[in-house]
Amino acid sequence: MKTCLFTLMMICATAFSVCRAQTPVYLDDSAPLDARVEDALSRMTLREKIALIHAQSKFSAPGVPRLGIPEVWTSDGPHGVRPEVKWDEWEQAGWTNDSCVAFPALTCLAATWNTEMAALYGKSIGEEARYRNKDILLGPGVNIYRTPLNGRNFEYMGEDPYLASQMVVPYVKGVQSCGVATCVKHFALNNNEINRHTTNAIVDDRALYEIYLPAFKAAVTEGGTWSIMGAYNLYKDQHACHNSYLLNDILKGEWGFDGVVVSDWGGTHDTWQAITNGLDLEFGTWTDGLSSNSKNAYDNYYLADPYLKLIEEEKIGTSELDDKARRVLKLIFRTGMNKNKPWGALCSEEHYAAANKIGCEGIVLLKNDNDLLPIDTDKAKRIAVIGENAIKMMTVGGGSSSLKVQHEVLPLDGIRQFAGNDIEVSYARGYVGDTSTVFDGVSSGQDITDNRNEDELINEAVEIARNADYVIFVGGLNKSRFQDCEDSDRKGLELPYAQNRVIEALAKVNDNLIVVNVSGNAVAMPWVDDVPAILQAWYLGSEAGNSIAKILFGIENPSGKLPFTFPVKLEDVAAHNMGEYPGTKRNDGSDITDTRYNEGIYVGYRWHDTRHIKPLFAFGHGLSYTSFKYGKVTASNSEMTANDSITFSVDVTNTGNRAGAEVVQLYISDEKCSVDRPVKELKGFKKIYLNPGETQTVSFSISKDALSFFDTGTHSWVAEPGKFTAHVAAASDDIRSSVQFELK
């Protein structure tokens, strides 16, 4: 008995000693991050390093089980945490506890022009991802709005690089404060969905650096994002997910990015380029995980067995592998192995409140003749609501941003709730668009089938609108193919499903017509002169109906501003006027389509200003239920040097009878330059809240960086001495005051 006891004690002591000897130093949180990463890397075998840099399932990578390094779990998307899918498939896993809060689409966030809303957004969605044990949130998207036909514009932050840069940084910081990495996408030049896997973007360096890269750079150098997602398209004839110029030279070289480059799902095409051109973590090469019919399909990824074989055959060394593994390890230490990350929360009251607040701040009042809005509940006895988008759930569909929500308040329900019991709210369909309600196994649970023809639907709508005190048409686009949807582009600028016919018929029978356009893109409005009030409402997520109703009834004062230009017609867009869209297919037998960005830096308002093209609604435009008076802008100095800054100040007064917010915008014009420059460019903005009669002084400080252009000859930013003009504006076409200054 004593012998057995002694033997047991010796076994335990030996085991304890072995455990102590093998306790990894990288578990010591007091050690510097890089030291912990190097210690972990030194303990890994060659095969473990290879396994670390590619997926093991649809949305996860394996980590290093032997060393206790956990798996890496990713999730779409930028507007909410995607429901769980099966291990190898896009279909739903059938969980009952993976519903989420759907936050407004990023076009709406950009339309708030409020960095505090971006921080709130990031923290809220980060908490939801943290609760679901996600390590990487696949977003936000910051690709520039080059054409209103891009089906994925609703996921991005508009046409202006400065606005997108300012909004992405607090979003990134908010998410990562929860111990979840952002994966800013799609790097770079993913500006159309049609032919997205085979489009080769031909862009000069000046446009690349001035227009298409600044938001990514800000996410890296100011936001500190822990990962970046490559794009599907090609650039310089290399796919963006393994593009030497974008990833090695710019991202990791010029910007010093120390995080992980993640491939988009199916974005990897070549082992050698993936090794040498900057890709770190490969996902989604086999879209169902089983196509190769092998024991483990993921071993056939480009960065899996094919990479291992090259090393074992001594055709390549391991320096690139160590760099990739080092980066993935650093991400894991920042996320899954971060013992200090906070607790998460899912579907909390605070998150619904955040979604509601962001939605209200992002809704843009485009037009409000005769102060038709807000709706006067003392005079309104009958309200007619028309349009499919009033009753269609918008959180399902759209591609990878499709969500399974705990609940979604529809516009009709929100209007009825805020109208109260004393106002009769009637509804007519008006038009029938897409009645499908299922995407990738997620069902909205709706049945909105309607087999009536256009004339029957319009006649019904006209009849209930004729005697209403207010008519609210809720239409626009949806998240179906060829509208606002991944992997397809719109076929035109016009509203689909004969909506123009409906709106024109309603305008003839009722003067109090309000059009609520739900979309992530600009649309043509041939009826704009016949409709007194227009709201741009975006995809607002779980709280859509409440946010829309609060604006309609004046519970909240609209303060959103457009993050992109609404053109009158497609020919007014530079990409369609000067550039190529969607491009020209090569005649060399390949599938490659070359898309030339001949318009260069002239995107959005830069183009409209330069060519004196009047927009339907300008970049930065947005009305309020109150009014704001701008004073004369003053400059702290009339001259500045390259080492100085200059401050511009202006007094803004709320001259109306209700509290409201105004976005004060600063644009800079270079009066004489050796290269072509836009008439003006956004270089500052501030959102201020004012009570009736209140005045606030708004100040902007700029350095020579705000005056610089990218010089392709020297590959550097240049600010040429000379005269400049600072414009304070309420929109890009609404300059309130200007002042000149000189750079010495």
Which residues belong to the active site? 264
Report in angstroms the alpha-carbon separations of 44 from 63, 66, 309, 329, 332.
11, 9, 18, 11, 15
Specify the amino acid at residue 348. Answer: S
Buried b (16+ CB within 10 A) or exposed e, 91-117: ebeeeeebbbbbbbbbbbbbbbbbbeb
Cα dihedral 192, 193, 195, 201 sign: positive
- Other CB atoms closer than 10 Å to residue 416's CB: what's the count? 19
Gap between the Cα atoms of 620 and 563, Å rounded:
6
Cβ atoms 101, 351 nearer than 8 A: yes
Specify the amino acid at residue 620. Answer: G
Gap between the Cα atoms of 261 and 330, Å rounded:
12
Taking Cα atoms as reference points, which of 520, 595, 524, 599 lies closest to residue 194?
595
Token pair of 146, please?
């080059």
Cβ atoms 652, 633 nearer than 8 A: no
Gap between the Cα atoms of 267 and 280, Å rounded:
13
Q: Residue 308: exposed, middle, or buried by beta-carbon count in 10 A (0-12, 13-18, 19+)? A: middle
Buried b (16+ CB within 10 A) or exposed e, 693-707: eeeeebebebebebb
Report in angstroms the alpha-carbon separations of 410 from 369, 400, 515, 550.
26, 22, 16, 13
Residue with tokens 């005769």: 370
Gap between the Cα atoms of 323 and 328, Å rounded:
9
DSSP assignment letter at 101 = P
Gap between the Cα atoms of 580 and 620, Å rounded:
26
What 3-state DSSP class applies to 588?
coil
Give strand ranges (E) for 522-618: 533-536, 584-585, 593-596
Gap between the Cα atoms of 341 and 357, Å rounded:
26
Cβ atoms 442, 402 nearer than 8 A: yes
Buried b (16+ CB within 10 A) or exposed e, 3-13: eeeeeeeeeee
Gap between the Cα atoms of 50 and 66, Å rounded:
14
Gap between the Cα atoms of 73 and 96, Å rounded:
19
Region of residue 113 (phi > 0: left; psi between -120 and 50: alpha; otherwise: beta): left
List phi, psi (to 5°) of 244: -60, -40
Gap between the Cα atoms of 40 and 362, Å rounded:
45
Token pair of 214, please?
């600044």
Q: Give CA 135 to chain center in angstroms.
A: 19
Gap between the Cα atoms of 432 and 451, Å rounded:
8
Tabulate helix, strand, coil % of the chain (nearest 5).
Answer: 30, 20, 45
Gap between the Cα atoms of 354 and 207, Å rounded:
36
Gap between the Cα atoms of 155 and 193, Å rounded:
12
